[in-house]
Structure 1
């Protein structure tokens, strides 16, 4: 099943909700609103024609301060149906918040923590949202485009 067919299936199942086809990506994907994310992902996870049983990757993307947006990108895979799908959600950069998918896929736990740690994107209802790669007292989010490198850490000058 192709992304375009999945989009049609979603539009039939969720009348009135907008889904944008993203064809210039590998795998092809769909853009979904943050408000609809959990409901749509639950459908993708449980629908027997699709059955996306594997959340392969979650990553963040900072589009820069001038755009005012950030993105969370999910890569899904259906093992029995051999289907790949990318799902993208665009967030407001000033308050990047989205609901957690830990209840659907346990692998979302550490992946959401990594996105939080590197980009500062908050995942509502995450069971343990705290830094995973950087020290707990690290200031800022290193993969944001406006990040300023720390020159001091725990009172010591940091040399790069």
Structure 2
């Protein structure tokens, strides 16, 4: 059970109002947290619970819902052989969240990729610029409303599901 997971128990003790949801699916635990606490939560996970490896940062676009985006952090504890997924919701009107580069240096390129492809700004990032697309590229290709034929074309207006 996710509620019995050591990381979940410790997070709920340390950040009771910031832990918004906990889910378990196929033995993987996902904790949704308030975006305002992301740096403190990640620092706690690294220093106190030994999630010393940030394996990925990405986002999910829920076009038509608010908040529209979910920023996803995949963590691994080498010593404990334990994985944890942390998510934080980000609104369409202000698609930004604090950078976790101060916690894991690997977040540098991962946050740049998420910025480039989804348009989510990581506040406090030391070098937030495109990493995959050219500097003059218009838009963010992994957003669900990105034109299927590329920049300058009409966005997809079909069914979103």
Bin the TM-score by the shorter chain.
0.7 to 0.9
Aligned length: 148
**1:71 has 2:84 as partner:** no
> CA–CA distance in 2 between the matches of 1:46 and 1:102?
14
> CA–CA distance in 2 between the matches of 1:146 and 1:17?
30
Per the alignment, residue 111 of structure 2 pairs with 112
CA contact (8 A) 2:11 2:19 kept: no
> CA–CA distance in 2 between the matches of 1:26 and 1:112?
26
Q: What CA deviation, in whole Å up to 9, does each residue of 1:103-132 have, x standing for no partner?
A: 110100000000000000000000000000
Gaps of 5+ in 2: 154-161
Scaled by the length of structure 2, what TM-score is found? 0.86
CA contact (8 A) 1:3 1:85 kept: no
Per the alignment, residue 35 of structure 1 pairs with 36
| Secondary structure of 1:143's aligned partner | coil
| Secondary structure of 1:76's aligned partner | strand
Per the alignment, residue 91 of structure 2 pairs with 92
Moved over 4 A (4+): none
Q: How far did 1:94 drift?
A: 2.0
Gaps of 5+ in 1: 153-160
- Relative to structure 1, the CA distance from residue 112 to residue 70 in structure 2 (aligned partners, 3 Å threshold; closer, same or farther) is same
